Amino acid sequence: MTDLPANADGGGCPSGLAPPDTKSAHGTDLSAFVTQKGNLNRLHLSVRGAKCGGCLSKIEKAVHALPGIDTARLNLSNGQMEVLWAGDLKPSRIGETISNLGYGVSVHSEDDAAKDAKREERSLLIAMGVAGFAAANIMLLSVSVWGGHGEMGQTTRDALHAISGLIALPVLVFSGRHFFKSAWSVLKHGRANMDVPISLALILAFSVSVFETINSGKHAYFDAVVMLLFFLLIGRFLDARLRRQAHAAAHDLAALRNSSVNRITSDGKTETIRADAVKEGDTILLAAGERAVVDLRLTSGTSEIDESLVTGESLPRIAAAGATVYAGSVNLGQPLRGTALGAAADSLLSDIAGMLEAGEQRRSTYRKIADKAVSLYVPFVHTAALLTFIGWLVFGASIREAVMVAVATLIITCPCALALAAPVVQVVASGRLFKQGIYLKSGDALERLATVDHVVFDKTGTLTLGEPVLNEDGVDPETLNKAAMLARASRHPLSRALVTAAGAGNLATDVKEFPGLGLEADLDGVTCRLGSADWVGVEAAEATDGPSLWFLEGENTPILFRFSDEPREDAAETITALEQLGLSLEVLSGDRADAVQRLSDRLGIDQWTAQASPQDKVERLENLRAEGRQTLMVGDGINDAGALSLAHASLTPGGAMDVSQSASDAVFSGGLSGILDTLSASKTARTRMQQNFGLAALYNLIAIPIAVTGNVTPLIAAIAMSASSLVVTINALRR
């Protein structure tokens, strides 16, 4: 667990992205939701309002301080927190501890978490639309006041100000509630966040405008209030939209784990149950074409098992009684029976789910450029406004004058440019990448992608096409057509590849399939076989390495068909380009050693690892991290999901498994060149973000002295604030 320096001790959440809601576990008995994990008690909670590294550190440290706590791990992307402890600690104390920090807490629900994220985004969008509509209308009234300066009567001006106030009041209450709730939730616990100065600026500017309108003042600042709301809500909405799908991997994996299972009862009947109802020792029927959702030890049947999404092995393997079939594998042939080795929660898929959670937790601790910038902003703004107010009073100004200058200072330093600096760059970069067939999913992914120095590739389906291709050199077309007549009766990948090479044709009649061996049929009265070397009588010493099929026609000499998983067309070109960028490369695959070595040599990659399990891949990523490497993982299978999530940054091709796509930072299509496009865009985006924060800092250095000395009104301050937002937006749009 990593402790973060930003606001870790009472500074509050500098982002203020969402306040805790009213649903709370404070004072609620949570004992019914406690489960056991070994000798420890386990409780899953949903924490609301925690949006930055400072929040994460503060919550985890507070819970860890409770007696008996073993683990307290919060995932910022989905708000899920897991707590493990030993002893007699009451779970309600955990909820109270989090609630007393100013955060909402309740029993965790995957459905509720997804609904809350969508609800937040929709609420921000509506609030932004209302504020934008109101700002346009109030500006029309303000233009009339400005245009009629010196000619418009006092009564008319007061009426226009009053109408503006009537429009602004409900907008302030409705659209501003996102900031007010967040500010109040931390203030009542003696803390502060970015929304405190924003709320002060909005309330004070509105109050001063009401005072000026009642006293027939020349200026009111209702337009500044609503414009400020509109620009701030743009930043909030953009950030919420980029965050909403950050925890989609867990949902996709849960969908696999929550599938139904066919269980055979003690009286021999078959019943369909939920996967989470399976217990160790249950007898499970795995039908042809079905994906296993629990780990099984086979008791009867022989069939080919496709483990490509679990282990990365490109070819199916024969599984018979005594073999272990892991959750996520697909039965390609005959029905199988097996004994469950444990509940769904103890399967390989669950282990991968744990890796995903650990990966999301680590990414949550990543110190984004925006977090670094805003961590110092709250005390600075508060101090500047307070000193301005006190200073003007000391030098003899009236309370009204001092308040006006302080409000102008709050408005002119309001973090519009700061709030937009990163999100607008992310949205622009995401749009440009989308046009290139690359879907960026994580808000801070661009920053992490820009710093990678080492690339780890999966093999099957990533560097290669993921499908075997027949090597047609020396293959007799007539023999190929005869073999294809048998192959058309099989779903085996090598049979499919042979049929693809042969093209359209006839299917032999009465084709018999022998699990683990091959196919047999009569062609023009001659018995023909297609399958393994043993099936056609080839001695083991004569068998070839690599994927192959043998065809035997009658008493003739068996014919060998060789297959290979070909590299993608642009693989070699992409590898060369990445090396020219100064990146080191390696291949990390679950496939056979000979296949991995052959591909690595062909592409010029010196470092490679074969037959790596999902745990092996994670261990390799952890070792690279310990060495100080910023690793980019590129993979496509369920077996890659844990590594994709735990890597510093990750990419996956468009044809990958949903879980892998969700676990990665971006999905690319159209070939491996998408990796180069993504890295190039990320470096440009990181530069633009740094420039934007520099521009925002420069703006404050110039604007604050002018505001503090009383040379701007709240209206001019609002215009200046809007101009700074426009500048960072234009900079983000630059090529």
CA angle, residues 270, 271, 276, in degrees to nearest 5:
130
Indicate the SS3 state at residue 51. Answer: coil
Q: What pairs with residue 651 in β-bridges? A: 634, 666
Indicate the SS3 state at residue 243. Answer: helix
Mean pLDDT, range 372-381, rounded to an integer: 64
The reported pLDDT for the residue numbered 310 is: 64
Catalytic (active site) residue 111? no
Condensed to tens digits (0 to 9), the pLDDT of residues 545-567 reads 667 889 999 888 899 898 888 88
Give the tokens for residue 326. 């892991």
Mean pLDDT, range 532-555, rounded to an integer: 77
Choose, from 116, 252, 282, 458, the residue flagged as catalytic: 458
Mean pLDDT, range 692-717, rounded to an integer: 77
Residue with tokens 């496009």: 677
Condensed to tens digits (0 to 9), the pLDDT of residues 163-213 reads 999 999 999 999 988 888 888 887 877 776 667 777 877 888 788 888 888
The reported pLDDT for the residue numbered 277 is: 76
Domain boundaries, the chain: 1-108, 110-244, 253-346, 438-465+567-683, 466-565
Window from 61-65, 217-221, 488-492 with minimum mean pLDDT? 217-221
Condensed to tens digits (0 to 9), the pLDDT of residues 117-171 reads 677 778 888 998 999 899 888 888 877 776 666 667 788 888 988 999 999 999 9
Helix or strand holding residue 336 (H, E) = strand 336-340
Condensed to tens digits (0 to 9), the pLDDT of residues 205-252 reads 788 888 888 888 777 778 878 887 887 787 677 666 655 544 444 444
- What does each C-alpha distance from 545 to 378, 400, 548, 725 come to in angstroms? 66, 88, 8, 63
Residue 705's nearest CA partner among 694, 723, 692, 717 is 717
Burial class (CB in 10 A: 0-12, 13-18, 19+), 573: middle
Q: In CATH, what is the architecture of 466-565?
A: 3-Layer(aba) Sandwich (3.40)
Evaluate whether the domain defined by 438-465+567-683 bears CATH number 3.40.50.1000.
Answer: yes
The reported pLDDT for the residue numbered 3 is: 36
Q: How many CA atoms lie within 13 A of 634 on its CB side?
A: 31
The reported pLDDT for the residue numbered 348 is: 57
Report the percentage of the chain scoring pLDDT > 90.
Answer: 13
Residue 631's nearest CA partner among 655, 615, 650, 614 is 650
The reported pLDDT for the residue numbered 4 is: 35
What CATH topology corresponds to 1-108?
Alpha-Beta Plaits (3.30.70)
Using the 8-state DSSP alphabet, how is residue 275 labeled? G
Residue 18's nearest CA partner among 101, 79, 82, 74 is 79
Contact 458, 634 (CB under 8 A): yes
> Residue type for 375, please?
S
Task: Examine domains 438-465+567-683 and 466-565 and report if their fold is the same.
Answer: no
Q: In CATH, what is the architecture of 253-346?
A: Distorted Sandwich (2.70)
Report the percentage of the chain scoring pLDDT > 70.
Answer: 77
Q: Tell me the whole-structure pTM to 2 decimals.
A: 0.61
Window from 186-190, 251-255, 478-482 with minimum mean pLDDT? 251-255
